[in-house]
Amino acid sequence: MAENDAAHLLLDHLPEVYRELAERIGHEALKRRLEKQALQESEQVWQGKNLLNPDRIPYFFETVEFLLKLSGIYDRGRRNFLDLKLVTNELSFKNLPEALDGLRILQLSDLHLDLEPELTPIILEHLEGLDYDLAVITGDYRDDTKGSITNCLTYVEQICAAIKKPVYGILGNHDPIELIPALESMGLPLLMNETVTFEKNGANLYLSGIDDPHYYEGHDFDKLRGTVPEGAFSILLSHAPETHKQAVELGYDFILAGHTHGGQICLPGRIVVIHNGDCPSYMLAENWQYKTVKGYTSRGSGGCRLPIRFFCPGEITIHVLRKENGH
C-alpha cells in the first residue's frame, strides 16, 4: 500500500472508521479516547505523571538539542541512535509447555519512525534473516503525540512487509486510534484489550494486548478476564510496564512492554536520569520481575522528539522462552 492509500484510508473514511471502532471497543471507550486525543492536540495537558518526565519540563527537548549542538556531541548522539543492537534475551518459565521450549519472539517497540527516515532501512537490515516464531510490536509508531497521523505510515508499511507472520501489535501513547485500520490493512492486527491464541507443536500460548495504559488509559482488564484458560501460559502486551499489578491479578506469565526508551539519554552505565515511566525504576529497561510475573521493557528501536541516544542503545529483541528445569 502506498503512503497516499494509507492516508486516504484514514482521512476519507473517518465516519466509517469511527463506526467500526465503536462496534469493536464500545461507544464509551471510543468517546473517552477521542476526548483524550483532542486534549492532547489542544496542547493543554502534559502526558507525563511523574515530575521528572521530559513531557512536563517546558522546552526540555529544545534545550537539550541546543546544548548538545553547542558542545559538539549532538552528532555522536545521532550515530548512537542509528547504531541499533540485536538483543537475544533468554529466560525461563515454570509454566511454559514443554512443546514451546525454545520459542522465539521478536519484539519491536517505540519505532517513532517519522522522526528519523534513516532508521527504517537499518531496522529492515536487522530483520533480514532473523529467526523467530512470533512477532510483536509494543506501540508508538509515530514520533510526536500530536500532529500528522499519516507521516509514519510509509515507514511502518515497510517494517510490516518485512516481518514474518504471525505478528501482533498494540497502540502506544503516541498512537491515535484512527491508525488502527491503516495498520491492520498492512497486515498488523492490533490487540485492543483482546486475546489471540498462538499454537506450535500442538501447544498453545495465549497472547493478550491492551490499548495504551499510560496516557489514553484505554486498557481494560475486565475485557481480558476469562480470555485465557486457567493455568495456561500467557503473555501480555502492554505499551508501558505500569500494568504489572493487573497482570499479576489476571495470572499473566510475561509482560512485554516499551514506552520508556530506557531513558534514551542516560549517564554512563545506562543510568536513567529523566524518564516517562510511571513504574518502579527497576522496570525502566530490560528484564524484571514483579511477584509472579516476569517482564521485559524494551529500550525501543527508535526514540522520540530528538534522534539521539546516549549510553542507552536502541534495540531489536529476540526473546527465547525456555521451560524452567530442563528441556
Binding stretches for Fe ion (CB under 5 A): 110, 140
Asked whether the CA dihedral 213, 218, 221, 224 is positive or negative, the reply is negative
Residue placing its CB nearer to Fe ion in the complex, 183 or 228: 183
Residue placing its CB nearer to Fe ion in the complex, 140 or 278: 140
Residue placing its CB nearer to Fe ion in the complex, 96 or 236: 236
- Whether 240 and 278 have beta carbons less than 8 Å apart is answered as yes
Residue placing its CB nearer to Fe ion in the complex, 140 or 157: 140
Residue placing its CB nearer to Fe ion in the complex, 81 or 233: 81
CB of residue 315 to Fe ion, shortest distance in Å: 13
CB of residue 156 to Fe ion, shortest distance in Å: 14
Residue placing its CB nearer to Fe ion in the complex, 114 or 140: 140
CB of residue 217 to Fe ion, shortest distance in Å: 16
Residue placing its CB nearer to Fe ion in the complex, 109 or 193: 109
SS3 string, the chain, reads CCHHHHHHHHHCCHHHHHHHHHHHHCHHHHHHHHHHHHHHHCCCCCCCCCCCCHHHCCCHHHHHHHHHHHHCCHHHHHHHHHCCEEEEEEEEECCCCHHHCCEEEEEECCCCCCCCCCHHHHHHHHHCCCCCCEEEECCCCCCCCCCCCCCCHHHHHHHHHHCCCCEEECCCCCCCCCHHHHHHHCCCCECCCEEEEEEECCEEEEEEECCCCCCCCCCCHHHHCCCCCCCCCEEEECCCHHHHHHHHHCCCCEEEECCCHHHCECECCCECCCCCCCCCHHHCCEEEEECCEEEEECCCCCCCCCCCCECCCCEEEEEEEEECCCC
CB of residue 258 to Fe ion, shortest distance in Å: 6
CB of residue 281 to Fe ion, shortest distance in Å: 18
Q: Residue 98: what are its φ and ψ, rounded to 5°?
A: -50, -40
CB of residue 230 to Fe ion, shortest distance in Å: 34
CB of residue 65 to Fe ion, shortest distance in Å: 18
Instruction: Give dist(CA 37, CA 54) in Å, integer.
Output: 19
Residue placing its CB nearer to Fe ion in the complex, 110 or 157: 110
CB of residue 177 to Fe ion, shortest distance in Å: 17
Provide the terminal-to-terminal Cα distance of the chain, rounded to the nearest Å.
Answer: 43
